[in-house]
C-alpha cells in the first residue's frame, strides 16, 4: 500500500478536482465524490485489474458508477489514473481519456465530461448511467458475461476470461426496483465475481433518507443470497482493503460492501451538508471544505506532485503486467485453439462468423402461414447454431415468445455457459442485464410481451443512447390478442418506441420479412433493434407473385403492385395488418380500383433512404392513401398526408375473440377497402 501521506494527498485531489469542476460549471453534485473519494482511490489504486494504456483489454475488470450523478468522481479518477482515449474504431490514442481541460469543461457543450457518464463518449466509462439502478443491472450482465466467456473459452493453463465487476451505487439505486430485481437474479446465479459498493451516506435529494427509506439493506441482500460486509468509515483504507479481500475470498455468491460515508466532508464525524449533494457548494463552502482537507483554499484544479505517479505505481504497473501476460497467453491460445480464438476476435469487433447467413433460409409460401413469433423462433434457433455468442431469454415467457434454444438447458449457477437466460418476472432488470451482456461482447437479447416494454423503457432507451446492438424481442403485438384484453393489448407502445432516436423498430408482415429483419439486425454493430411479433398466424407470401422480402432492409417496399398501371390509391401497413391490406387490394380490384400495397416494417430505415427511393415507393402524385395499423395512429400522418385516411386505435383495446375485436375497432379488410373507395371516388 502507498504511504498514508501520498494516499491522503491523492484522495483529496480527487475531492478537490470534483469540487472545483462542479463549482466552475455551477451545476452538478460534489457531495458524493467528496464522501466516496477514498473508496474510488482504494479500488482503482490497489484492486482493479485494468491497464490505463489499453482500456479495452478484454479481460480487464469492469467498474460501473451506477449513481451517475457522482460523475466527477469517475472523471477525476480516470484523469489521475492516466487512462488513454480510444476512438470509435477501438484504436488507442496518445491523448488522455479525460484531461485537466476536460475536467474544467465539466457539463459544457462538446466536453468529454457530461453531467452523467456516457459510454462511447468518454473512454473508461463502461456503461451510460443516469437513471438510478441501471448501472447495477448492467453490472449483473457483465458478471454473467465474464462467467459465460470463461466457461466457453478458458482451457487448462489458459484462462482468457475471469474478470471481476465492481459497481458503486447509492441509496437511490437501492430504492429503485430495478436493483432488487437485478440483485435477486445475481444471487440466484451465485455471481461471485460481482461486487456492489453501497455508498451508505443517508442523504438523498429531498434530505435525510429516513424520510422514505428505513429498510435493512444488509438483511435484504443476505436474503437474496449475497455475502455482505460493512465498513463503518469510508476514510479507513485498511478496512476498505479488508472488505475487498473479503469479496475476493467469497467464491459462491455476489458481495455487497456497505460503506458508511458522509456526503459533505467525507467524515462521519463532520456536520452534515445536504446541499453538497444537490448543488454546488458555493464559494465560501468550497473554501471551508478545502480548509478541512488541509488544501490551499484559493487553489483551483490543483494536482500536487506525486499523485499521478502514485496511480501509475499502483494501477498502472499492476494493470500493465496483467495485460501483457494476457496478451502473451492469447498468442499461445491462438496457436493451440485457432477456432476459438477467432470467435473471441469476432466478438471484440462485433463481427459475425463466416457463413452465418446460411442460417437464413426462405420460408415457402403458405396461405395459412404462421405467427411471426413462431418464424422468428425458428430463425433464432438456426442462427444460434452458427453464432455461439447469441445469449438471452425472456421474462418468464420463453415459451410464449419462442426465444429459448431447444436442446440447451437454462443458465444456472453450475451451468454458466448456457445460452438460455431465465430472467424471471423481472422485465426492468432484464433490460439492464441485456445491455451489460452486449457491453461485454455478447449478442444479448431479452424478450417479453410488447405491452411490457413499459417496464423496461429506460434500458431500451439507454441501449440506443449507448449505440450498442442490444436486441429486444417483443411478441403479442396488438389487439389481436383478443381475450386477454386492454391490459395486454399494446396500443401506444409502437409510437413511443419509434420516437426513440437510433432505435430500429421492426414489425414484420410475414415469415420472410422476419428473416430479413434478422439479417439487418445482426449486421448492425451500433444500433439496438426491437422486433414486434404477432401471436396469430399470418400468411407467408409467394414472393414470385409479390415484392421481394429483401425490401425489408430499406424499411418499406412495394409488396403488391397495382394491376394495370399507376395506382389510384396506396394501402400502407405493417405487421399483421398487411395481410388485410392485401385482401382489400383484391376487393378493390373487383371494382376496378387500382391499389398498391406497401409494407412498412421499419419506419426508421425508410426515413434513411434517398428521396428517389422514397418517391418510388410512395409517389407524391398519389394522394389517396389509407394506412392501417392495430396501434395508436400517431405518426401515420407523415405518410398518409392531408388527404389520406388513417385506420388505427384511438382508444385502448377490449376483451373478446380476435375477429370481434378487429371488427369492433374497424380493423378489417372491408374497412380498408371502403376507406380507399371513398378517397378515390371523392366521397371523403
> pLDDT, tens digit, for every residue of 576-610?
999 999 999 999 999 999 999 999 999 999 999 99
The DSSP-derived string for 587-624 is: HHHHTT--EEEEE-S-HHHHHTS-HHHHHHHS-TT---
Q: What pLDDT is stored for residue 195 in this prediction?
A: 98
Residues with a catalytic annotation lie at: 427
CATH of domain 4-323: 3.40.50.970
In 3D space, the residue among 474, 523, 426 whose CA is nearest the CA of residue 141 turns out to be 426
pTM (two decimals): 0.96
Residue 271 has pLDDT above 50, yes or no: no
pLDDT of residue 265 exceeding 50: no
**Cβ atoms < 10 Å from Cβ of 369:** 20
* Extents of the domains making up the chain: 4-323, 356-539, 556-680
The model's pLDDT over 514-566, given as tens digits with 9 standing for 90+, comes to 999 999 999 999 999 999 999 999 999 999 999 999 999 999 999 999 988 88
pLDDT recorded at residue 1: 63
Written as one string, the DSSP assignment of 243-289 is HHHHHHH--SS-EEEEEE--TTTS-TTSPP-THHHHS---HHHHHHH
Q: Name the class of domain 356-539.
A: alpha beta
pLDDT at 200 over 80: yes
Q: Are 594 and 562 in contact (CB under 8 A)?
A: yes
Q: What is the mean pLDDT of residues 460-474?
A: 98
C-alpha distances in Å from residue 165, one per residue of 115, 349, 369, 405, 459? 23, 21, 46, 27, 19
**CATH number assigned to the domain covering 556-680:** 3.40.50.920
Q: How many CA atoms lie within 13 A of 341 on its CB side?
A: 12
| For residue 618, pLDDT beyond 80 | yes
- Does residue 386 have a pLDDT over 70? yes
**pLDDT value of position 264:** 58
Residue 158 in contact with residue 187, Cβ under 8 Å? no
Q: How confident is the model at residue 266 (pLDDT cuts 50, 70, 90)?
A: very low
Question: Is the predicted pLDDT of residue 336 greater than 60, yes or no?
Answer: yes
The predicted pLDDT at position 269 comes to: 41
Q: Is the pLDDT of residue 389 over 90?
A: yes
Identical topology for domains 4-323 and 356-539: yes
Rg from Cα positions in the chain? 28
> Which cell numbers in the block locate residue 26?
455551477
Q: What is the pLDDT at residue 275?
A: 40
Amino acid at each position: 500500500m502507498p504511504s498514508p501521506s501520498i494516499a491522503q494527498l491523492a484522495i483529496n485531489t480527487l475531492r478537490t478536482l470534483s469540487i472545483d469542476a462542479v463549482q466552475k460549471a455551477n451545476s452538478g453534485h460534489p457531495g458524493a465524490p467528496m464522501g466516496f473519494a477514498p473508496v474510488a482511490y482504494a479500488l482503482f489504486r490497489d484492486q482493479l485489474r485494468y491497464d490505463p494504456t489499453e482500456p479495452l483489454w478484454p479481460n480487464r475488470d469492469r467498474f460501473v458508477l451506477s449513481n451517475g450523478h457522482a460523475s466527477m468522481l469517475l472523471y477525476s479518477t480516470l484523469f489521475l489514473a492516466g487512462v488513454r482515449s480510444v476512438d470509435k474504431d477501438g484504436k488507442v490514442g496518445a491523448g488522455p481519456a479525460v484531461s485537466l481541460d476536460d475536467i474544467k469543461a465539466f457539463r459544457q457543450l462538446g466536453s468529454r465530461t457530461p453531467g452523467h457518464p456516457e459510454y462511447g463518449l468518454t473512454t473508461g466509462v463502461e456503461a451510460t448511467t443516469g437513471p438510478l439502478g441501471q448501472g447495477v443491472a448492467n453490472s449483473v450482465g457483465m458478471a454473467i458475461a465474464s462467467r459465460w466467456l470463461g466457461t466457453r473459452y478458458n482451457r487448462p493453463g489458459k484462462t482468457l476470461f475471469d474478470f471481476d465487476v465492481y459497481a458503486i451505487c447509492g441509496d437511490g439505486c437501492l430504492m429503485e426496483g430495478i436493483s432488487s430485481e437485478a440483485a435477486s437474479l445475481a444471487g440466484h446465479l451465485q455471481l461471485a465475481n460481482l461486487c456492489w459498493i453501497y455508498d451508505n451516506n443517508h442523504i438523498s435529494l429531498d434530505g435525510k433518507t429516513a424520510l422514505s427509506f428505513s429498510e435493512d439493506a444488509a438483511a435484504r441482500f443476505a436474503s437474496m443470497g449475497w455475502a455482505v460486509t460493512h465498513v463503518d468509515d469510508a476514510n479507513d483504507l485498511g478496512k476498505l482493503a479488508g472488505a475487498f479481500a473479503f469479496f475476493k475470498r467469497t467464491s459462491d455468491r455476489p458481495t455487497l460492501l456497505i460503506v458508511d460515508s458522509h456526503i459533505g466532508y467525507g467524515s462521519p464525524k463532520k456536520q452534515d451538508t445536504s446541499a453538497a449533494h444537490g448543488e454546488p457548494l458555493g464559494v465560501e463552502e468550497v473554501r471551508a471544505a478545502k480548509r478541512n482537507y488541509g488544501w490551499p483554499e484559493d487553489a483551483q484544479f490543483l494536482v500536487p506532485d506525486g499523485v499521478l505517479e502514485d496511480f501509475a505505481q499502483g494501477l498502472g504497473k499492476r494493470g500493465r503486467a496483467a495485460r501483457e501476460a494476457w496478451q502473451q497467453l492469447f498468442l499461445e491460445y491462438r496457436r493451440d485453439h485457432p477456432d476459438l480464438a477467432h470467435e473471441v476476435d469476432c466478438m471484440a469487433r462485433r463481427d459475425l462468423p463466416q457463413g452465418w447467413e446460411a442460417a437464413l433460409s426462405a420460408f415457402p409460401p403458405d396461405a395459412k402461414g404462421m405467427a411471426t413469433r413462431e418464424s422468428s423462433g425458428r430463425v433464432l434457433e438456426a442462427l444460434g447454431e452458427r453464432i455461439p455468442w447469441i445469449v438471452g431469454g425472456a421474462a418468464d415467457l420463453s415459451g410464449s415468445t419462442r426465444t429459448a434454444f431447444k436442446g440447451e438447458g437454462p443458465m444456472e449457477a453450475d451451468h454458466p455457459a448456457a445460452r438460455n437466460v431465465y430472467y424471471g418476472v423481472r422485465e426492468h432488470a432484464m433490460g439492464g442485464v441485456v445491455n451489460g451482456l452486449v457491453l461485454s461482447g455478447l449478442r444479448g437479447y431479452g424478450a417479453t410481451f410488447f405491452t411490457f416494454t413499459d417496464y423496461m423503457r429506460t434500458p431500451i432507451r439507454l441501449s440506443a443512447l449507448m449505440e450498442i446492438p442490444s436486441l429486444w424481442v417483443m411478441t403479442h403485438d396488438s389487439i389481436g390478442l383478443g381475450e386477454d384484453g386492454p391490459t395486454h393489448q399494446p396500443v401506444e407502445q409502437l409510437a413511443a418506441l419509434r420516437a426513440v432516436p437510433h432505435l430500429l423498430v421492426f414489425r414484420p408482415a410475414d415469415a420472410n420479412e422476419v428473416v430479413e429483419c434478422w439479417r439487418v439486425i445482426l449486421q448492425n454493430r451500433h444500433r439496438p433493434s426491437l422486433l414486434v411479433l404477432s401471436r396469430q398466424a399470418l400468411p407467408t407470401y409467394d414472393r414470385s407473385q409479390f415484392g421481394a422480402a429483401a425490401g425489408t432492409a430499406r424499411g418499406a417496399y412495394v409488396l403488391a403492385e397495382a394491376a394495370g398501371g399507376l395506382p389510384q390509391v396506396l394501402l400502407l401497413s405493417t405487421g399483421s395488418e398487411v395481410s388485410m391490406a392485401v385482401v382489400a387490394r383484391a376487393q378493390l380490384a373487383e371494382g376496378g380500383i387500382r391499389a398498391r400495397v406497401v409494407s412498412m416494417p421499419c419506419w426508421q430505415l425508410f426515413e434513411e433512404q434517398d428521396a428517389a427511393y422514397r418517391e418510388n415507393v410512395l409517389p407524391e402524385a398519389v394522394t389517396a392513401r389509407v394506412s392501417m395499423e392495430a396501434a395508436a395512429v400517431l405518426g401515420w400522418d407523415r405518410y398518409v398526408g392531408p388527404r389520406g385516411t388513417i385506420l388505427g386505435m384511438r382508444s385502448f383495446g377490449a376483451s373478446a375473440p380476435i375477429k370481434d375485436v378487429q371488427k369492433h375497432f374497424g380493423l378489417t379488410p372491408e374497412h380498408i377497402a371502403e376507406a380507399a373507395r371513398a378517397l378515390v371516388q371523392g366521397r371523403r
